[in-house]
Structures are given as structure tokens and as C-alpha cells.
């Protein structure tokens, strides 16, 4: 039986870590957690007491293929960035570019210990097939704009073809945003989601301008942002990922506090596009399920959950002048269990017997980790850790990456092909 040997294992439920071995069953689930060095054979990784194991990191909002557009437009506000720079290039993208961008993103995410991601884009067969071939877990949707039955059908076909594949792919419906999808179409999509038991992934009030436009349009009808989400039926979808929520009224956060609804915080993208500070303190206080995401690489510009965790933990302390809020443990939970649960992976995000063996092995032997131990692992990881500390990335018990080497992909080949495709796009 494969095992991870002699690592400091983080137990999020207990709130501390303990040295031990993690045994993994044939089904890719954790079959046992046992005393250190009790596993003798089939060792996937030997931590020698100098590495830690945490649940795989979960990136709950991204557009992986946008790695092909990284650096294309910098230092612009969201609407200008999107409409003048991003949309025109996106019109030229072909399936092979989407595939290349996805593979580039998967390399970066796997190297940084991300094991699962929620993605919205188009030509999503390419993304699904790349995720399967690289061994990742993902919740994917076809981005829907306008009232477009053809796009909805594409999304539904995706569900038929890939939904549940190897237990690693969940297909959701992807209405893009309230400013790109009419209210009636949203209601129709929400109805389909309920009928077909599919989750929804949606951008929600990312910028202040969106909230202003929303008020202009719906203020007369006395429809508040929460009324709108409720009225369209989005809040009743089997699962709902609401990306950003930067401008959702704080006094209405409690209305998003439902077991099927997840708010996805994207601190670095919000900072870079100048969108503002999401009310993370209040989101957490409301009891809502809150997850963390990077957004696409054209607006971040990294797909690095370590950077994201650190930004989330730091920026709200500064903004509110209060070092006690948004703890390292909060952001680690947001980046593991809360994200996985929000997508519908109910057995991902804890190192626990019977749960999926989605794990990251982190080297804690270096200078930045002196003093790291059983009681302070999340604080060391979030405040002092770095993606470059990742030594192994494991999904469903399978090693995807170990000691700087990819085991499911040819790194050089992916990068070379992506370079070629980038040139094609920019011609």
C-alpha cells in the first residue's frame, strides 16, 4: 500500500499537527494515519521528519487558459482591460491555444501544490482533457454570455461528456456576470442547474461601477443585490460559486449564508485591477462559506495560492488596522476544505481516513522554518511559506510532481509549445 512517510501532518479539525505516516488505499483515499516510520514499502515520499503534509490547495476561481494572455494588458481598470484588451484577443483563440494555456497553468499550479481548481472559459473540452491527463481535480464550466442557447448546450454537452469522470471532474454552468447575461437568461440557467443537478459559477459585483449600474437599473424596482440573486433562482442552485463579491452590501451578507453558496475571495486580482477590498472580515463573520482563488493569470499575474493566502491574510489587517482578523488558519481552510466543498467535492480538503488523498508535501527544513512545529504550522506556511517549498503534489493518491520533476507532463515540451502558440495569437 503506498504511503507518505514521516511527515508533520496537519489536522485542520483538531487544529494541530502530528508526526506520522499517511497510508493510501488502492482507491486513492487515505486509508490510515499511523505512527512515523511504520510504513515500510511503496513509499511515495519520505519526509524524514523534515517535511509537512497539508491538504492539496484549492483554487476556487480562475480562467487557466488566460496564461496565454499574461502580461498582455497591465495597469488598467477592469472594464477597459476586459473590453479593449482581453475580449478582442480572446476572439482569435483556437482550441489549441486554450489547451496550451491550460497546460501552462497546470504546470504552475501543480508546482505550487494546487490540486484542484474551478475554471470558467470556453473550448472547455481542452481544459477538461488537460486536467484529466495531468491528474488534477477540477470543477469546470463554459462561460456563458448573452441569452445563447448554443453556449448553454455546449455547457450541457460538457457535463454529459466529462461530468464525474474518474471522480475528478465536476461540470458546472458558467453564466459570466450580471452585466453580460440578461436577468431572464440567468433565471433560465438557474432552472437548468436545478433540473440537471449542476452547480453554477458566476462573477458577482467585482467593481464599484457594477454596483452603481446595478442600482441604476434595479433601484427603481427596489431590487437589492441579494433580491436579484434570490429572484433569478441562482441562490437555489445545487452549488453556487460567487467570485469576488467585493461590492456585495455588507448588511446583506447573511442572505448568502447558505450551505450551497460559496463566496470566492480573489485578493490579488482585486488589488491589481483596483477593484477594492472585499469585505472578508464580514464574510467570515457572517458564517458564509468563503473560499480563495487567484482569478486568471492576465489579472493577477500568478496562479500561486501561497501568494494568495498571504495577501488575503495581510491586506485586511492593514485595511481595518486590526492584526487579529483573518487568521492564517482561516485562509488555509478557505484554500482547502471550503473551496473543495463549494465545488461539490465532499471528501476533499482534510487529511482524514476515508478522504481523498489530495496532498501537498512541504519542505520545512529550510531557514525560514526554524521554530515551525506541531502548534504553529499554518502560521509558518501562510506568513513565511512559499510555493517553492513544495516538494510533492499528490491527487487521489497519485504523485503528479516530486522534487522539481513533473510525473504526468513534459514541462519543457509544454512551455515550448505555449511559446509558439503565444506568437501565433499575437500576430
Binding site for Zn ion (CB under 5 A): 295
Q: Which is nearer to Zn ion, 295 or 389 (CB)?
A: 295
Identify which of residues 59 and 115 has a Cβ nearer to Zn ion in the complex. 59
Q: 24 or 131: whose CB is closer to Zn ion?
A: 131
Cell of 344: 461539490
| Distance of closest approach, residue 58 Cβ to Zn ion, in angstroms | 16
**Nearest-CB residue to Zn ion?**
295
Residue whose CB is less far from Zn ion, 295 or 308: 295
Q: How far apart are CA 379 and CA 390, in angstroms?
A: 16
CB of 364 to Zn ion, least distance (A): 33
Contacts of 270-273 with C-beta under 8 Å, sequence gap 24+, read 270/206, 270/244, 270/246, 271/311, 271/315, 272/299, 272/300, 272/301, 273/76, 273/77, 273/78, 273/81, 273/206, 273/207, 273/299
Determine the Cα–Cα distance for residues 49 and 4; give it in Å rounded to an integer. 11
What is the smallest separation between the CB atom of 54 and Zn ion, expressed in angstroms? 26
Residue with cell 491538504: 55
Beta bridge partners of 196: none
Judged by beta carbon, residue 263 or residue 359, the one nearer Zn ion is 263
Nearer to Zn ion, 135 or 178 (CB): 178
Instruction: Please give the Cα distance from 163 to 183 (Å, whole number).
Output: 27
Closest CB 295 distance from Zn ion, rounded Å: 5
The string of DSSP codes covering 295-351 is --TTSSS---HHHHHHHHHHHHHHHHT-TTSS-HHHHHHIIIIIHHHHHT-TT-SS-
Distance (Å, whole) CA 85 – CA 83: 6
Bond from prior residue into 301 cis (ω within 30 degrees of 0): yes
Which residue number, 6 or 295, has a Cβ lying nearer to Zn ion?
295
CB of 70 to Zn ion, least distance (A): 14
Minimum gap (Å) between residue 68 Cβ and Zn ion: 15
Cell matching residue 284: 467570515
> Residue written as cell 524524514?
48
> In degrees rounded to 5, what are phi and psi of residue 3?
-150, 155
Least distance in angstroms from the C-beta of 274 to Zn ion: 15
- Give min distance, CB of 203 to Zn ion, in A: 5
Q: CB nearer to Zn ion: give 232 or 266.
A: 266
- The dihedral through the CA atoms of 82, 178, 248, 117 has a sign that is negative
Greatest extent of the chain over all pairs of C-alpha atoms, in Å = 70
Alpha carbon 387 to chain centroid, angstroms? 15
Per DSSP, what are the bridge partners of residue 417?
A: none
For residue 384, what are the CA distances in angstroms to 40, 144, 152, 293, 306?
33, 39, 44, 20, 10
Minimum gap (Å) between residue 207 Cβ and Zn ion: 12
Supply the minimum distance, in Å, between the C-beta of residue 350 and Zn ion.
Answer: 27
Residue closer to Zn ion, measured from CB, 7 or 245? 245
Decide if 264 contacts 278 (C-beta within 8 A). no
Question: CB-wise, 103 or 295, nearer to Zn ion?
Answer: 295
Nearer to Zn ion, 90 or 295 (CB): 295
Q: What number of other Cβ atoms are within 10 A of residue 195's Cβ? A: 8
Amino acid at each position: 500500500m503506498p504511503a507518505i512517510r514521516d511527515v508533520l501532518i496537519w489536522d485542520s479539525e483538531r487544529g494541530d499537527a502530528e508526526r506520522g505516516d499517511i497510508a493510501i488505499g488502492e482507491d486513492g483515499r487515505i486509508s490510515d494515519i499511523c505512527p512515523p516510520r511504520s510504513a515500510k514499502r511503496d513509499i511515495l515520499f519520505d519526509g524524514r521528519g523534515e517535511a509537512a503534509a497539508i491538504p492539496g490547495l484549492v483554487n476556487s476561481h480562475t480562467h487557466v487558459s488566460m496564461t496565454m494572455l499574461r502580461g498582455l494588458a497591465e495597469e488598467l481598470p477592469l472594464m477597459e482591460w476586459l473590453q479593449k484588451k482581453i475580449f478582442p484577443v480572446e476572439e482569435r483563440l483556437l482550441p489549441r491555444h486554450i489547451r496550451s494555456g491550460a497546460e501552462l497553468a497546470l504546470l504552475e499550479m501543480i508546482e505550487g501544490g494546487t490540486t484542484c481548481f474551478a475554471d470558467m472559459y470556453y473550448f472547455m473540452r481542452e481544459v477538461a482533457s488537460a486536467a484529466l491527463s495531468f491528474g488534477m481535480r477540477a470543477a469546470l464550466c463554459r462561460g456563458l454570455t448573452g441569452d445563447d442557447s448554443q453556449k448553454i448546450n455546449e455547457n450541457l454537452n460538457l457535463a454529459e461528456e466529462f461530468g464525474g469522470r474518474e471522480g475528478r471532474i465536476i461540470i458546472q454552468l458558467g453564466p459570466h456576470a450580471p452585466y453580460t447575461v440578461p436577468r431572464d437568461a440567468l433565471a433560465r440557467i438557474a432552472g437548468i442547474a436545478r433540473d440537471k443537478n449542476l452547480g453554477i459559477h458566476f462573477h458577482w459585483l467585482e467593481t464599484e461601477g457594477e454596483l452603481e449600474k446595478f442600482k441604476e437599473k434595479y433601484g427603481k424596482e427596489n431590487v437589492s443585490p441579494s433580491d436579484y440573486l434570490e429572484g433569478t433562482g441562482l441562490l437555489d442552485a445545487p452549488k453556487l460559486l460567487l467570485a469576488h463579491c467585493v461590492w456585495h452590501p455588507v448588511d446583506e451578507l447573511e442572505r448568502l449564508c447558505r450551505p450551497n453558496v460559496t463566496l470566492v475571495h480573489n485578493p490579488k486580482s482585486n488589488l491589481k485591477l483596483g477593484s477594492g477590498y472585499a469585505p472578508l472580515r464580514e464574510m467570515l463573520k457572517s458564517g458564509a462559506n468563503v473560499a480563495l482563488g487567484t482569478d486568471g493569470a492576465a489579472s493577477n499575474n500568478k496562479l500561486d495560492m501561497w501568494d494568495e493566502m498571504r495577501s488575503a491574510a495581510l491586506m485586511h489587517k492593514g485595511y481595518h488596522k486590526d492584526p487579529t482578523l483573518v487568521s492564517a488558519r482561516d485562509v488555509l481552510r478557505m484554500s482547502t476544505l471550503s473551496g473543495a466543498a463549494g465545488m461539490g467535492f465532499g471528501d476533499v480538503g482534510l487529511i482524514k481516513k476515508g478522504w481523498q488523498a489530495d496532498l501537498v508535501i512541504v519542505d520545512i527544513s529550510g531557514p525560514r522554518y526554524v521554530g515551525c512545529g506541531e502548534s504553529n504550522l499554518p502560521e509558518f506556511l501562510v506568513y513565511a511559506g512559499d510555493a517553492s517549498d513544495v516538494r510533492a503534489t499528490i491527487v487521489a493518491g497519485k504523485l503528479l510532481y516530486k522534487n522539481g520533476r513533473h510525473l504526468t507532463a513534459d514541462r519543457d515540451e509544454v512551455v515550448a509549445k505555449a511559446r509558439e502558440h503565444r506568437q501565433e495569437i499575437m500576430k
